[in-house]
């Protein structure tokens, strides 16, 4: 069974990956919230009590 020459396919893969990633990144970042969490300072934690300690 003959093997494919990876030289032209690898360049095609890298070029298409670069184009797709540059086009999708701004679209994906537009849907992510960019606001800081306002309740970050109000979080309180309670100590963990181990039942065997």
Pull the structure tokens for residue 29: 């970042």
> Which pLDDT does position 31 carry in this prediction?
82
Q: What is the distance between the alpha carbons of residues 43 and 24, in angstroms, rounded to a whole number?
A: 35
Give tens-digit pLDDT for 9-40: 888 899 999 998 999 888 888 888 777 666 65
pLDDT higher than threshold 70 for residue 52: yes
Check pLDDT > 80 for residue 3.
no
pLDDT at residue 41, as a whole number: 62
Q: How many Å apart are CA 38 and CA 35, to the nearest integer?
A: 8
């Amino acid at each position: 069974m003959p093997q494919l020459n990876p030289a032209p396919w690898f360049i095609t893969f890298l070029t298409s990956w670069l184009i797709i990633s540059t086009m999708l990144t701004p679209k994906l970042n537009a849907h992510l919230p960019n606001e800081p969490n306002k309740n970050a300072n109000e979080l309180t934690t309670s100590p963990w009590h181990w039942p065997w300690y």
